[in-house]
Structure 1
Amino acid sequence: MAYAEKVYKVRNGKPTKQFTWRCRYKKPDGTWGSEPGFPTKKTAEEWGEAQEAAIRSGAWTDPELLRTPFGQWAREWMAAKAPRGNTASTRWDRLEAHILPRWEHTPLQAITWFDAEQWANGLKCEDTIATQCLSIMSSILTGAVDKKLIPANPLHGRRRSRTAEAKERQAEREQDKLWAPPEVVLQMARAAGPLDGMHILTVAFTGLRWGESLAVSSASLTQRLERDFTCPALAVRQEVAEYRRRGPGGEKLGMVVALEPVKTRESKRTIDLPPFLSNLLTPYAENCRLDFLFMTRSGEHWRRGNFSRQVMRRHADGRKAVTRTRGRAARDAVPPIMRGLTMRALRHTHDTYQEQIGVKPSLAFEQAGHKRPGIKAVYQHPTPEMRRERLDGLEGIFQDAMRSLGWSEIWPRS
């Protein structure tokens, strides 16, 4: 049975007349635990009795474990997990940049939803990153519950309420989301040339993610054989991930650009190719001597930032003329085609085209590699006729754009 004992304060190495109460209680293994700092004998005994009652019911958590610093447990949790390399890298980036500077030394039991939400709303970063930080913290705290460090996760199932300022920033970003008219896509493809231009054209009319597009090879070109329906297709099974490799303790071990399986079951898909794209990709793949279709001139995987700077920004944003000076050649001005356009915006473009031509949701979700929510995902399935309508619609968008531009081919033969 729990009991209380006096603990006299010490000053200059000598006990004083001032004292507090310490509780002594029987732990599950039969040893005696203690908890100091109570102002009265009664509060110490009540606390001890509550501990023993929790032990008898099987709901007890060791107070010493409750005081585990969040940073200590976060590192242990990260070392025990083995997600895809890019996922681990992102988690460490969020921990080091945002989470640990605030929560490193906070005891697990002291973390509350109120404090965490207020902290997230005050972060000076993208709103999605702030939400992601809360999600990572919640996963780590759920692991602490599983390890019996805390009885419950205070962040589990909670929905973040954004401040007015955060909502305004989010609204501004929503307005900045781009999609490209088909004429712009064709102009970008021509300006970038047959190599990088084919990359741009393929992403805009298939909706490939950046990493998925880098993993496209000749072997990716296939055929869909479905009852009485056949069409050229593109198999998506892997992607090229770019991330900073980390050690078990989060130490930085250098950048990695490597193949990985696609992240989700929905991402593993076969994309139906409209006739114009198949007619362009097939000879392109036959003439490609590299391991993958969309690589740098030296045969390496593109880095996202390099492709953006050397290809997308150069043609989408244009550039000013440069006069000839000592050590620098003259350079003509390049007019902008569509400022701010990115490869991610071209993925948005594909799904926007699907909506424009009325692609049925069951097929639109499948082709984009998205998980469709709700019971309709179980009961509705793409049919051959849906596939024909989608291909006819995308082909029509391409042909209309070619006529609008007055072009007979994207890359005129010199």
Structure 2
Amino acid sequence: MGFAENRGDYWRGRYKIAPGKYGTVADINGKTIRYRTKRAAEKAAAVEEEKALTSSRAMPEPEAERITFGDYASTWYDGQDLAASTMQNYRRHIEEHLLPNFESLMVDEITKGEIDAWERSERERGYAASSIKTWRGTLHLILADAVDEGMRDSNPATRRRGRGKRAGRSRNRASEKVVTSALGVLLIAERAALLSGRDDEFVAVVLKGYTGMRWGEIVGLEAEFVRPASVRVESQLYELDSGEMHRCPPKDDSYRTIDSPGWLSGLLAGQVTRAGEKPCECHGLRYLFSGHGAANGAARRPGAKLVDVARAAEVSTGTVSNVLNRPGAVAEATRARVEKAIADLGYIRAWASGENAAHWRRNGFATWLFHPAATGWYPKKAPEEARPVPLLASPWPGIPARGRGAASRAESCWLPIARGLTPHGLRHSHKTMMDGFGTPPKLKDERMGHEDGSVQARYSHVTTEMRRALMGDLTNAWEDSLAARRELSPGSPVKVLDALLRPGC
């Protein structure tokens, strides 16, 4: 309804043109008409508002823009400006799970029934409920923006609270995370080092188990942030689908300093020395840990290859492998011929060339080091079936047999320590360990990189005494695990652990 507005020495009429927009009563030249009384201004404004409403009714409603979901999703994705990891995840969700079902549908025609049917089909294909929930969240986000742009009246991906079957909702709950004890951390770390053939994996697993650092934070830990009594988390390395290790801030900007007990600081100091001074080529920075195995492209490096040695010695590549891994299984004359070819060609094994990959890959570390260390089995990876880690029995806890015919030469295998444990499970294990110590919540959140926005947390503070108590608890847990390990065997094939097991260490 039109209204009058007092302008001091006159009144002017104001009327509504559109939601949130108002006009002023004016003459044919566009000049505001000044009224002497409020009543006159109100009457003129009412007349003009009626004219505006009549005019808007006469104009046909413009047709909403219609576009397919595939075209809109592409435009939507191009308009995002987010972290590389988030952009990668959105692309994967859209291309692998949303476009196959919705690409050709018009954005304004997608219904809730179609979305529910898609969700059921994804579940029938064996995808985890948590994954499907994440993909539906991306779909909801895209359609919410379509609603804001006037392409739809409502968002069909919205879940209405309190609707649907009560039974079966537990399928959306993730299974309970497997955790392990301080002794479990130590034993898994030892096995991981035996599988890799170096101390680095021992230190990394122990560091993760006793600090709760995230995987990306461990991989991206720079040597300069290892300090005498703490570790500083300043960044993480996130592995993109392209293979690039993207350096970015820690999750949720959880920059923090993590206190480390003296024994852990000693392990880290030794690892700094082993890491050397050479920076990685991808970032130009000194990282505490490097990857395990030949770097990508190492097979293309200059120099003789294993196949060249085989040709020169007139034997198979398998025979050359046997000479390198178990020379006792090869006839003396053949072994001498192969060794001469190696010397003549200057062949250097990839692992001996020092060309390790610059960084661990999440899947490779979990599959070939952590999983077999925790369970005693290599996982199923086509074309290979799951199989126990073949071991030479002595020295305890067994040395992984390598090379051709390793399984036939195996004398024992490892018992599982914690079936289902993942590298991330060590983060849960550390939190559980602190729960057992009775560590104050504020200190636990600080250490884990969590943020509690409650009033109680605002009025809680970490003290020196709390930190000292936690360091003492972690040290006691570590010493107890070493004592338990000594009872199993007084020494270890892992150099750094063997030194710790000696009396007086």
Shorter-normalised TM-score: what interval? 0.7 to 0.9
Conservation of the 8 A alpha-carbon contact between 2:227 and 2:265? no
1:206 and 1:161 map into 2 onto residues whose CA distance is 42
Is 1:328 the equivalent of 2:316? no
Considering only CA atoms, is the larger Rg found in Structure 1 or Structure 2? 2
The CA distance in 2 between the partners of 1:207 and 1:198, in whole Å, is 14
Aligned partner of 1:200 in structure 2 is 205
Alignment of 1:13-412 (within 5 A): 63-65=63-65, 67-113=66-112, 115-117=114-116, 119-124=118-123, 125-155=127-157, 158=160, 167-170=169-172, 173-175=174-176, 177-193=177-193, 194-222=199-227, 232-244=229-241, 254-265=242-253, 267-289=254-276, 291-297=286-292, 298-318=356-376, 319-321=388-390, 327-329=404-406, 330-336=409-415, 337-406=417-486, 411-412=497-498
- After superposition, the C-alpha distances for 1:99-144 in whole angstroms (9 at most, x for unaligned) are 2222223333334456534533542211111111121112212322
**Paired amino acid for 1:310:** W
Query: What amino acid sits opposite 1:314 in the alignment?
Result: P
| In structure 1, C-alpha distance between the alignment counterparts of 2:470 and 2:402, rounded to whole Å | 53
TM-score, normalised via structure 1 length = 0.72
CA contact 1:359–1:390 (8 Å) conserved in 2: yes
The residue type paired with residue 249 of structure 2 is: P
Distance in 1 separating the partners of 2:64 and 2:74: 18
Q: CA deviation at 1:242?
A: 0.9
- Residues 320 and 401 from structure 1, CA distance in 2 versus in 1: closer, same or farther, beyond 3 angstroms? closer
Unaligned runs of 5+ in 1: 1-27, 29-51, 224-231, 245-253
Measured after TM superposition, the shift of residue 390 of structure 1 is 2.1
Classify 1:294/1:395 alpha carbon distance in 2 versus 1 (closer, same or farther; 3 Å). Answer: same
Q: How many residues align?
A: 341
3-state secondary structure, aligned to 2:439: coil
The one-letter amino acid paired with 1:100 is L
Q: Which residue of 1 aligns with 2:342?
A: none
Q: Distance in 2 between matches of 1:386 and 1:322?
A: 44
Contact kept, 8 Å, 2:372 with 2:389, in 1: the verdict is no
Q: Distance in 1 between matches of 2:175 and 2:410?
A: 36
Distance 1:283 1:241 in 2: 26
- Aligned partner of 1:271: which letter? I
- Give me the CA root mean square deviation: 3.5
Q: By how many angstroms is 1:207 displaced? A: 0.8
Q: Is the 8 A contact 2:213 2:427 kept in 1?
A: yes
Q: Deviations over 1:367-408 (max 9, x none)?
A: 111232433343333232322222222222212222233378
Q: Given the superposition, is the C-alpha separation of residues 411 and 322 from structure 1 closer, same or farther in structure 2, using an over 3 Å criterion?
A: closer
Does the CA contact (< 8 Å) of 2:275 and 2:290 recur in 1? no
Identity %: 25
Alpha carbons of structure 1 residues 377 and 158: separation in structure 2 relative to 1, 3 Å: farther
Tell whether the 8 Å contact from 1:217 to 1:285 is kept in structure 2 after alignment.
no
Question: Does the aligned pair in 1 maintain the 2:239–2:245 contact within 8 Å?
Answer: yes
Q: Is the 8 A contact 1:121 1:166 kept in 2?
A: no
SS of 1:216's equivalent? Answer: coil
Instruction: Classify 1:144/1:325 alpha carbon distance in 2 versus 1 (closer, same or farther; 3 Å).
Output: closer
CA contact (8 A) 1:220 1:234 kept: yes
More strand, by proportion: 1
